[in-house]
């Protein structure tokens, strides 16, 4: 029975690609947004917050939740129902599952798996790989790197110039001098010697935007992530700016482009069970997708936007004991963040636990959970992403939509 089902699923995919192809052109511009750890309920919490902010009970849709195509994807890895971000990233980038902790290396520990970013680049498109996390962190790394251990950041970082993609961006590079700072050459120097211009922040990018290949980071000396959306300092690099910068660089290629953009800090805040952080990272992710949506409106027949997650983080639920879900406390934190250091406020005035208690939010884990994740799509061949799918199907469908051989 299972075999028949799998056979039918593949046949249906091919059939859909062919029948769509009759009416729709190949996608020339593809945006692949991955909300790290963003399950259905992270999105619902953000939408409920927006509704409550204007005094209404309900859920105000985000930009991407209004996309016409909705599906869901499995998230399990080759080693567990609960995946980590490198195994999930490998599934979403290569179309193959691997074991937790491994990055684009097959479960046999030797076979190298290549992300669709390479296939698309080889087909002549420009490619961008971006995140709010370090560029050599699991999810972005799964689009260019290969390593038996996701934590070998120095080795993974060295693959950035080898990949040769036109645009990379993120908070920074993790372990730029190696794990114990014992390397003699910085990853930043290796990337620069590989032909990349390094821009520190968006203003610096604007001055350097005509360079052939660019690595855009918050700062070479920063703590390697883009600052959290809640209480973010003026001038800090945002995912919206990263997407805007990526479009500037990538659309120079008349053939088209593929851009992966990760909202990486949704996962980081959810690991901490930080409700306010999770809501504002999800809203920030939506703002970046709105930049792509504006591009789609300018090129509606040639653009595809896919939004998904690699897994759910935190096992978050709207409700714990009773029927009193209430996000008033989030507004208090947001208002405080305008004038005080939000981290200090969270330490002194409220706590992660008291916020969850007041809002009546439940979390089941400080790790990931194993359920399916949402998939939204709009644009040319968006219909391919409707319904239930395995996470490994998504990169195959992106290639099908672009007319690139998988
Ligand atoms: Zn995580």
User: Using one digit for the tens of pLDDT, what is the confidence trace for 42-85?
Assistant: 999 999 999 999 999 999 999 999 999 999 999 999 999 999 99
16 CA to centre of ligand 1 in angstroms: 33
Nearest Cα residue to 43 out of 341, 235, 308, 404: 308
Structure confidence at residue 3 as a pLDDT band (50, 70, 90)? very low
Domains of the chain: 30-402 (3.40.720.10)
> Does the pLDDT at position 13 exceed 70?
no
Spacing, Cα 45 to ligand 1 middle (Å) = 18
Indicate if the pLDDT at residue 350 is higher than 50.
yes
Looking at the chain, the whole-number percentage of residues with pLDDT higher than 70 is 94
pLDDT at 348 over 90: no
Q: What is the pLDDT of residues 102-154, one digit of tens each?
A: 999 999 999 999 999 999 999 999 999 999 999 999 999 999 999 999 999 99
Whether the pLDDT of residue 21 is over 60: the answer is no
Query: Could you tell me the pLDDT band of residue 34, with boundaries at 50, 70 and 90?
Result: very high
Give the Å distance between the CA of 38 and the centre of ligand 1. Answer: 10
Residues in Cβ contact with 264 at an 8 Å cutoff, skipping those fewer than 6 apart: 36, 131, 132, 133, 137, 139, 140, 170, 225
- Compute the distance from residue 99 Cα to the ligand 1 centre, in Å: 15
103 CA to middle of ligand 1, Å? 14
CA of 124 to the centre of ligand 1 (A): 33
Q: How far is the CA of 296 from the centre of ligand 1 (A)?
A: 30
CA-based R_g, the chain, Å: 20
Distance 223 CA to ligand 1 centre (A): 18
Expressed in angstroms and rounded, the spacing between residue 270 Cα and the centre of ligand 1 is 8
Centre of ligand 1 from the C-alpha of residue 32, in Å = 19
Q: CB under 8 Å to 339, separation ≥6 — which residues?
A: none
Band of the pLDDT at 181, cuts 50, 70, 90? Answer: confident
Does 200 have pLDDT greater than 50?
Answer: yes
CA–CA gap between residue 246 and residue 166 (Å, rounded): 9
**From CA 323, how far away is CA 129, in angstroms rounded?**
42
Interval between CA 268 and ligand 1 midpoint (Å): 6
Mean pLDDT of the 166-180 span? 95
Confidence of residue 337 (pLDDT cuts 50, 70, 90): confident
Give the pLDDT score at 18: 46
Query: Does the pLDDT value for residue 11 go beyond 50?
Result: no
Q: Would the pLDDT of 2 be above 70?
A: no
pLDDT for 16 equals: 52
Instruction: Average the pLDDT over 173-179 and give the result.
Output: 93
Please state, rounded to an integer, the average pLDDT across all residues of the chain. 93
Identify the three-state secondary structure at position 85. Answer: helix
- The answer to whether residue 6 scores a pLDDT higher than 90 is no
Task: Tell me, in angstroms, the distance from the centre of ligand 1 to residue 84's CA.
Answer: 6
Spacing, Cα 367 to ligand 1 middle (Å): 6
Q: How far is the CA of 256 from the centre of ligand 1 (A)?
A: 32
Name which of 113-122, 320-329, 338-347, 348-357 the model is least confident about: 338-347
At residue 71, the pLDDT reads 98
| Position 255 pLDDT exceeds 60 | yes
- Within 13 Å and on the Cβ side, how many CA atoms surround 143? 28
pLDDT tens-place string over residues 274-288: 999 999 999 999 999
pLDDT at 12: 52
Distance CA 141, CA 100 (A): 14
Cross-strand pairs, 216? 169, 199
Round to whole Å and give the CA distance between 19 and 26: 12
Residue 259 alpha carbon to ligand 1 centre in Å: 22
Please tell me the distance from the alpha carbon of residue 170 to that of residue 143, in angstroms, as a whole number.
Answer: 14
In angstroms, rounded to a whole number, what is the distance separating the alpha carbons of residues 291 and 306?
13
- Ligand 1 centre distance from Cα of residue 267 (Å): 5
- Candidates 377, 389, 395; CA nearest to 306 is 377
CB-count burial class (<10 Å; 0-12, 13-18, 19+) for 115: buried
Q: What is the pLDDT of residues 230-243, one digit of tens each?
A: 999 989 999 999 99
Q: How far apart are alpha carbons 81 and 353 in whole angstroms?
A: 28
Q: How many whole angstroms from 92 Cα to the centroid of ligand 1?
A: 15
CA of 337 to the centre of ligand 1 (A): 25
CB atoms within 10 A of CB 328: 10
């Amino acid at each position: 029975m299972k075999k028949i089902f799998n056979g039918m699923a593949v046949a249906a995919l091919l059939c859909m690609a062919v029948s769509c192809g009759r009416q729709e052109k190949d996608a020339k511009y593809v945006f692949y947004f991955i909300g790290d750890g963003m399950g259905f309920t992270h999105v619902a919490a953000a939408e409920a917050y927006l509704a409550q902010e204007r005094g209404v009970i309900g859920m105000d849709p985000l930009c991407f939740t209004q996309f016409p195509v909705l599906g869901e994807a499995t998230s399990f890895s080759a080693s567990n129902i609960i995946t980590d971000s490198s195994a999930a990233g490998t599934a979403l980038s290569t179309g193959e599952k691997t074991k937790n902790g491994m990055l684009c290396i097959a479960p046999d520990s030797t076979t190298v798996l290549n992300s669709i970013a390479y296939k698309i680049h080889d087909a002549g498109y420009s490619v961008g790989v971006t995140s709010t996390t370090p560029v050599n962190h699991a999810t972005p790394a799964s689009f260019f790197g290969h390593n038996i251990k996701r934590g070998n950041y120095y080795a993974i970082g060295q693959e950035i110039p080898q990949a040769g993609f036109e645009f990379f961006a993120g908070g920074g590079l993790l372990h730029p001098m190696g794990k114990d700072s014992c390397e003699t050459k910085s990853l930043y120097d290796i990337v620069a010697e590989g032909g990349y211009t390094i821009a520190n922040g968006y203003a610096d990018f604007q001055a350097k935007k005509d360079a052939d290949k660019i690595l855009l980071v918050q700062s070479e000396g920063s703590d390697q992530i883009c600052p959290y959306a809640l209480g973010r300092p003026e001038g800090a690099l945002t995912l919206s700016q990263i997407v805007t910068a990526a479009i500037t660089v990538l659309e120079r290629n008349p053939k088209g482009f593929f851009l992966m953009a990760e909202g990486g800090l949704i996962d980081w805040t959810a690991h901490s069970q930080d409700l306010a952080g999770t809501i504002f990272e999800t809203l920030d992710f939506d703002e970046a997708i709105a930049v792509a949506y504006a591009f789609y409106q300018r090129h509606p027949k040639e653009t595809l936007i896919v939004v998904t997650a690699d897994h759910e983080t935190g096992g978050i639920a709207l409700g714990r004991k009773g029927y009193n879900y209430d996000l008033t406390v989030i507004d208090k934190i947001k208002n405080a963040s305008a004038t005080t250091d939000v981290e200090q406020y969270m330490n002194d005035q409220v706590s992660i636990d008291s916020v969850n208690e007041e809002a009546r939010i439940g979390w089941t884990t400080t790790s990931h959970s194993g359920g399916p994740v949402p998939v939204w799509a709009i644009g040319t061949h968006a219909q391919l992403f409707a319904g239930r799918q395995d996470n490994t199907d998504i990169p195959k469908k992106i290639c099908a939509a672009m007319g690139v051989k998988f």
